[in-house]
Amino acid sequence: MPELPEVETVVRDLRPLLCGQCLAAVRTSRHQLRQPWKRAWVSAIVGKRVQAIRRRGKWIILDLESSSHLLVHLGMTGRFTVVESKIPKAAHTHVVFKLNEGGQELRFADIRRFGSVRYCATADELNLLLGGKLGPEPWEMDPSDWSQRLRSSRRCLKAILLDQSVIAGVGNIYADESLFVARLAPKQLGTRTTREQADRLLSAIVQVLDHAIEARGSSIRNYVGGNGERGEYQNEFLAYGRTGEPCQNCGRAIACIRLAGRATHYCPHCQRSRSQRSEVRSQRSEVRY
């Protein structure tokens, strides 16, 4: 599933191609996405100019004239790209916006149809959909607030990172990578996380996301950016998807367990929990006769 770096890459690719363009026509397939398309949206959209394009968490927001918006989620296999109108539509293309200049179209394709494209007539409607669902962006998170969010949860760190209401944009890939960089056990409970560990984890999240954005995200299956180019960060994974491969820190095998319903990759040696470290220290200090 595309996460924050992939969505940010799509937004950056589309921004110079869309801003100032008018949406001249809209065509949809007969297949429904996760959010059913409403026919009334077509007349509300056609003729409106794209004023800006931005990201919030894993959502793409196109700001249109008259304070209206298009809200897009890529789901698991969504592609949101600008292509030449003469290029035949790829299979599983479900929404096409004709642009008024350059002979181009903005196309949304989604094999599994878990993504969505919907129209929001007002900023209030947009905020109602997103406001209560998304926590702060990683770069905007206050360290004290972050530590409190962790300490107030009895869930494991992996589950907390996947909760979009706690921190926006982090998904399975970058949760594993961030925990590895921070050298924290994914099974460690939020309540047992010290302020120093919380600071280390927030720093790791920002570091990993920044690096992934520079690499245009991770192309594992279907993901491509807004201009059709693939990402490269999958070539730099430290933990995710490396089950059985040597840890780049200690050389021991990366393990995979299931947490919060997701495959979780980590180094059992480098990412031991506080209780495991205490047990090791206790065993080392035992007097043997």
Residue 219 has φ and ψ, to the nearest 5°, of -100, 95
CA distance 244 to 40: 52
Per the annotation, the verdict on 2 as an active-site residue is: yes
Q: Would you place residue 141 in the very low, low, confident or very high pLDDT band (cuts 50, 70, 90)?
A: very high
Per the annotation, the verdict on 138 as an active-site residue is: no
Does a structural domain hold residue 239?
yes
Q: Would you place residue 276 in the very low, low, confident or very high pLDDT band (cuts 50, 70, 90)?
A: low
How many structural domains compose the chain? 2
Report whether 141 contacts 34 (CB < 8 A). no
Does a structural domain hold residue 289?
no
Does a structural domain hold residue 237?
yes
Q: Which of 130, 163, 197 is the C-terminal boundary of a domain? A: 130
CA distance 167 to 184: 17
Q: Note whether 162 and 109 are same-domain residues.
A: no
Instruction: Residue 122: name the closest of 53, 43, 68 by CA.
Output: 68
Annotated catalytic residue within 15, 27, 200, 262: 262
Q: Note whether 26 and 114 are same-domain residues.
A: yes
CA distance 242 to 266: 9
Annotated catalytic residue within 55, 56, 58, 113: 58
Q: Can you give the CATH number for the domain in which 155 is found?
A: 1.10.8.50
In this structure, which amino acid lies at residue 63? D
Q: Which domain holds residue 237?
A: 138-284
Predicted confidence (pLDDT) per residue in 49-107, tens digit: 999 999 999 999 999 999 999 999 999 999 999 999 999 999 999 999 999 988 999 99
Per the annotation, the verdict on 58 as an active-site residue is: yes
What pLDDT shows up at residue 274?
62
Does a structural domain hold residue 150?
yes
In this structure, which amino acid lies at residue 142? D
Q: Note whether 248 and 115 are same-domain residues.
A: no
Q: Note whether 15 and 98 are same-domain residues.
A: yes
Predicted confidence (pLDDT) per residue in 4-53, tens digit: 999 999 999 999 999 999 999 999 999 999 989 999 999 999 999 999 99
Q: Token pair of 166, please?
A: 């706690």
Per the annotation, the verdict on 3 as an active-site residue is: yes
Distance of CA 104 to the CA centre of its chain: 27
Q: Is the pLDDT of residue 288 over 50?
A: no
Predicted confidence (pLDDT) per residue in 121-132, tens digit: 999 999 999 988
What pLDDT shows up at residue 275?
57
Q: Map tokens 């979780």 to a residue.
A: 264
Q: Is the pLDDT of residue 278 over 70?
A: no
Instruction: Residue 95: name the closest of 75, 72, 126, 112 by CA.
Output: 72
Q: Note whether 272 and 142 are same-domain residues.
A: yes
What pLDDT shows up at residue 222?
81
Cα dihedral 55→56→59→65 (10° resolution): -60
Does a structural domain hold residue 37?
yes
Q: Which of 96, 111, 130 is the C-terminal boundary of a domain? A: 130
